[in-house]
Amino acid sequence: MNRPRVCTVVSCGESKQDLDAGETVPARELYSSSVHTCKDRYGRHSDGYYIMSAEYGLVHHRTEIAEYDRTLDNMTDTRVRAWGRDVADDLRDVLAEGDFDAVVLIGSETYVGALVPHFERLPADVLTPWQTSEFVTGVGRGMSWCNDELNWPENVSSVDEIGEVVSEG
C-alpha cells in the first residue's frame, strides 16, 4: 500500500523577521518563533506545504511575502469568518489539484477554528492534531508532536497514523 499524500497547512506567527520596506522572503522564512520552526519542520516533510496567513490568506511556503502586522485575534468575527471562507476556498482547490488524501492543519484554535465550518467542503480527510491529539495539551506538546519524526507524513502508512480524522472529504 502506498503512503497517503498529505498537505500540511500551518498558521502564521506573530514573531517575524525584521525586513526592509519592499523586501520579501519565502513565507516559511518570514516567521521567526521557535513554534513556527517546529511547524515548518513538519510541513517540509509533507507532499504539499502551505501557510495560512492573516494578511495573505493561504500561501505556498515558497511564495515571497513581505513583513506585516496582522493577526486573526485582532479582527472582527465577521472578518475572521470571511478569511476562513476565502482560505477554505483556496485550500479546496489546492487539495483537488494535488490529489491529496489528507490535510493536516497545525495552528491555534483561532486559525483552525476559522476553517471548521468548511471542513466538509474539502476533498480530503481533515486532521487537526493540535486540537484532537490526547498527547497535545499545549504549545510545548504541539512542538514536540511536530518534531517527532514518527508523525511526519513521509513516515506514515495511513492517514489514521497521523491523528484523529475530523472529517472525510
Model pLDDT for residues 87-101, shown as the tens digit of each residue: 999 999 999 999 999
Model pLDDT for residues 48-93, shown as the tens digit of each residue: 999 999 999 999 999 999 999 999 999 999 999 999 999 999 999 9
Model pLDDT for residues 4-53, shown as the tens digit of each residue: 999 999 999 889 999 999 999 999 999 999 999 999 999 999 999 999 99
Q: What is the mean pLDDT of the chain?
A: 92
User: And the C-alpha cell for 53?
Assistant: 496567513
Domain ranges of the chain: 6-167
CA–CA separation, 87 and 115 (whole Å):
8
pLDDT at residue 54, as a whole number: 96
> For domain 6-167, which architecture applies?
3-Layer(aba) Sandwich (3.40)
Q: Please report, as a single letter, which amino acid is at residue 108.
A: S
Model pLDDT for residues 111-125, shown as the tens digit of each residue: 999 999 999 999 999
pLDDT exceeds cutoff 80 at 163? no
pLDDT at residue 50, as a whole number: 98
33: left (phi over 0), alpha (psi -120 to 50) or beta: beta
Higher pLDDT, 145 or 134: 145
pLDDT exceeds cutoff 60 at 103? yes
Which band of pLDDT confidence, cut at 50, 70 and 90, is reported for residue 168? very low
Question: Residue holding cell 487539495?
Answer: 95
CB 142 within 8 A of CB 148: no
Model-wide pTM > 0.85: yes
Angle between helices 34-43 and 139-147 (to 10 degrees): 30
Report the candidate in 7, 1, 100 with the shortest Cα–Cα distance to residue 48: 7
CB 91 within 8 A of CB 9: yes
pLDDT at residue 138, as a whole number: 85
Q: How many CB atoms lie within 10 A of CB 149?
A: 10
CB 59 within 8 A of CB 65: yes
What residue spans of the chain are helical by DSSP H?
27-30, 34-43, 77-98, 109-115, 129-132, 139-147
What percentage of the chain exceeds 70 in pLDDT?
95
Which band of pLDDT confidence, cut at 50, 70 and 90, is reported for residue 126? very high
